A and B are shown apart, each in its own frame.
Chain A
Amino acid sequence: MALTGLEIYKLLPQTNCKECGFPTCLAFAMKLAAKQATLDDCPYVSDEAKSKLEAASAPPIRLVELKNEEGEVKVGNETVLFRHEKTFYNKCGLFLRLKDDEDAGILSNKASEANAFHVDYVGIDLYLDGFAVEAASGDPATFASAVKAVNEASKKPLILIADSADLAKAGLEAAEGARPLLYAADADNWEAMAEVAKEKNVPLAVRAETLDGLADLTQKLKEAGIEELVLDPELGGYHDSLHKLTAIRRLALKKTFRPLGFPIISFPGTASEADETLLAAEQIAKYGGLIVLDTFNPASLYALLVLRQNIYTDPQKPIQVQPGLYEINDPKPDSPLLVTTNFSITYFSVANEVEGAGKPGWLLVADSEGMSVLTAWAAGKFDAERIAKDIKAFNVADKVEHHKLIIPGHVATISGELEEELPGWKILVGPREAVDIRGYLDSVWQN
């Protein structure tokens, strides 16, 4: 963890020159500890103290960046073990592994297909982050042409899986325009791999089965001048993954254990005791960094991308949409009027159904402070009073002539009260779930 004010004070000149704008060096140290001042304000700090202080203030899990012409992936910089303590910041990357023992044409097709995968989730565009190309052939020329084929089919970030310096070099040279992760240095090849990573200025993954082995390697690489590292703890199944990743995250955050303060790379498809999709799901929730899948299956990828989006949502800020009267499919004054809350997932579920039904409709999105129907109702943010207020605030009566309002089935209990709040209006109780809106509009509203 960061240094305390007193620890910082010991590293300062202790002359109380006041040039930093604070009355004493101790006061300045306290401000530094609270991150309300920067070290640059002290003109006399020694280089030695500076490097110590900078090292201490470095994030406990290093940020690693992969780039290509179309996209970048940043992992690391996490600060908590549980998302409710603050938030998880940098979404883990989801990659697809392709091996060079297949024909370059086939690889190119596979990469194009996966590259084209896009799915819309509550207005957010979800897609695969990139590709891991593996030198399974062991031949530098074959590997280079595979990397080239994938890199031409998709300009997304790359991971190059190569176990020798020759292969690594061939792959990196073929990855034009990209800043890939080089995978991986181990106890045997680390010196040669370090040289390549340094020469090409790319991040390097290190692989060892034990945490001791990993820590040894990262220390050696640090001495060799390589600092942008990713750890591969050779994870097994659900149990092994949870234990190792929890241990690494805790060591980094709670002990500021620098040798393991790096993001993790994992290959959930390689564990014989686990289902690839479910192990990937576990790793999304529990401390995965770069997750390399062996199967491209939209039915899994869509679900995993949604999970990642959910887990990495800032718990302090529910995703909201602007309250108001929304028009769907160009509604007329006699089109049905539905009301829901402004929690984005609720809004999109309802709006998608009305839109999908191909019927014009009005959707009143009440200001429920970003809560879903039941939660908002329980918290008194989606009651008769609130809905009546929004009916008036958004001049709904001027646009919708029939004065009939369809409320979610989950809040059927407020219909009486709402009729009292809105004289002249008729309250209809709609379905509980958005998925049943289509059927409701077809049967009930028609009649």
Chain B
Amino acid sequence: MTVEIPKEKYTSSVRQVTIGATADEGGTRAHTLTIGGETCMPFLLHEGSTPNRPALALEIRDRKPEDWSELLIETWGDAIGDPVAWARAAEEVGADLIYLKLSTTTPDGEPNSPENAKKIVRQVLEATGLPLAVIGPGQADLDNELIVAVAEEGKGERLLLGLCEENNYRTIVAAALAHDHLVQSKTPMDVNLSKQLVILIHDMGMPLERIVMDPTTGALGYGIEYGYSVMERLRMAALQGDTMTQQPMIVTPGEETWKVKESKVGEGVPETWGDWKQRALNWEAITATTIIHSGADLIVLRHPETLKHVRNMIDDLIQTQTA
């Protein structure tokens, strides 16, 4: 009996977005990173193409983070207090992009300042040839102040800047527009909110080729199923031609999983949770695996070992691409 493999036909595709600029393009990056462009549901390559495999970023900070798990601090060693060394280490272990998140304070306890943010971004740009994302600490006023300065400092580099959220996006979008950068548009696990924020940002004049959409992902055990299904619905809508859902998706399983108890702590938890380090790595890698299967294009991780496992998986998933 010959079984005919059913194929789905889609009319449309995910938009391609390029982060970073080389010397020829007015920046200083060794190469650029292009994401998106899929014409099929994740990895079903017999019915469409995936011109760019999902990219993996590592998150670094402008100073030693105070609330990170011991396991991460141990892995990164001294680099964790030095953004230059940290960025180099992240490049060395195979990151496609450096995701630099700024902190509210400097190591000496002073509030973070535009001058400090500029200095660190400059140092990181000089330390690595990888494309760069720079994200504010998550407090609207400070985010705006820092990211405006960073946008100016990084002019020409086509940075990915964030976070743009429903109640705070105008200043960051305006700065990104003025200095030719891209933005990360983040909304809380909802198809319509995702779409709406893309529309609002686009209405300010931002080309769709410069918006990366962050639908928000819960960690495994902490709401992953919501993010998973929202992403599947967004991707399906994109392939069926809903223009404002066609942005590539960025997800942050590193940040989401390393704050949950299963990953963060090794003591005072049930014995049946198993070995702490293996569990923590599984938590990050399984969360990443699951949302890669629902359409993630740029995955921000924290542990280099997770990156290695997830990289192997993506390489295998994409292996027989002919397009």
B73 at the interface (CB under 8 A from A): no
Which of B21-29, B100-108, B207-215, B278-286 is found at the contact surface with chain A? B278-286
Residue of B nearest to A244 (CB): B5
Count of chain A residues with a beta carbon within 8 Å of a chain B beta carbon: 64
**Which of B91-99, B122-130, B269-277 interfaces with chain A?**
B269-277
Query: In the bound complex, what is the Cα–Cα distance between A36 and B313 (angstroms)?
Result: 47
**A-B pairs with CB below 8 Å: how many?**
165
B43 and chain A: residue at smallest CB distance: A242
Residues from chain A with a CB closer than 8 A to the CB of B220 are 303, 306-307, 310
Q: Confirm or deny: A239 has a beta carbon within 8 angstroms of a beta carbon on chain B.
A: yes
Let me know if B313 and A345 touch, CB within 8 A.
Answer: no
Known interface pairs A219-B1, A243-B46; A310-B265 also in contact (CB < 8 Å): no
The answer to whether A211 and B5 touch (CB under 8 A), given A278-B309, A282-B289, A303-B279, is: yes
CA distance A257 to B6 in the complex (A): 11
B249 at the interface (CB under 8 A from A): no
Which positions in B face A, CB cutoff 8 Å? 1-3, 5-6, 43-44, 46, 67, 166, 188-190, 193, 218, 220-226, 228-229, 232-233, 236, 259-262, 264-265, 268, 270-276, 278-279, 282-283, 285-286, 289-290, 293-294, 309-310, 312-313, 316-320
CB-based nearest A residue for B69 = A435
B188, B218, B259, B275 — most chain A CB neighbours (10 Å): B188
* A275 CA to B232 CA, complexed, in Å: 24
Chain A contacts with B in 291-313, Cβ cutoff 8 A = 297-304, 306-307, 310-311, 313
Chain A residues with CB under 8 Å of chain B are 82-84, 117-121, 211-212, 215-216, 219, 237-239, 242-243, 246-247, 250-251, 254-255, 257, 259-260, 273-275, 277-278, 281-282, 285-286, 297-304, 306-307, 310-311, 313, 315, 343, 345, 349, 352-353, 356, 372, 374-375, 378, 433-436
Which residue, of A254, A304, A310, has the highest number of chain B Cβ atoms within 10 A? A310
Which residues on B sit within 8 Å (CB–CB) of A250? 6
Contacts of A246 in B (CB 8 A): 44
Name A's interface SS.
helix
Instruction: Please name the residue on chain A nearest to B310 by beta carbon.
Output: A278
> In the complex, are the beta carbons of A278 and B286 less than 8 A apart?
yes
Q: Check B5–A247 contact: CB distance below 8 A.
A: yes
Q: Which residues of B contact A282 (CB under 8 A)?
A: 289, 293, 313
CA distance A260 to B319 in the complex (A): 26
Contact B283 A303 (CB under 8 A): yes
Known: A117-B272, A297-B278, A298-B274. A375 touches B188 (CB 8 A): yes
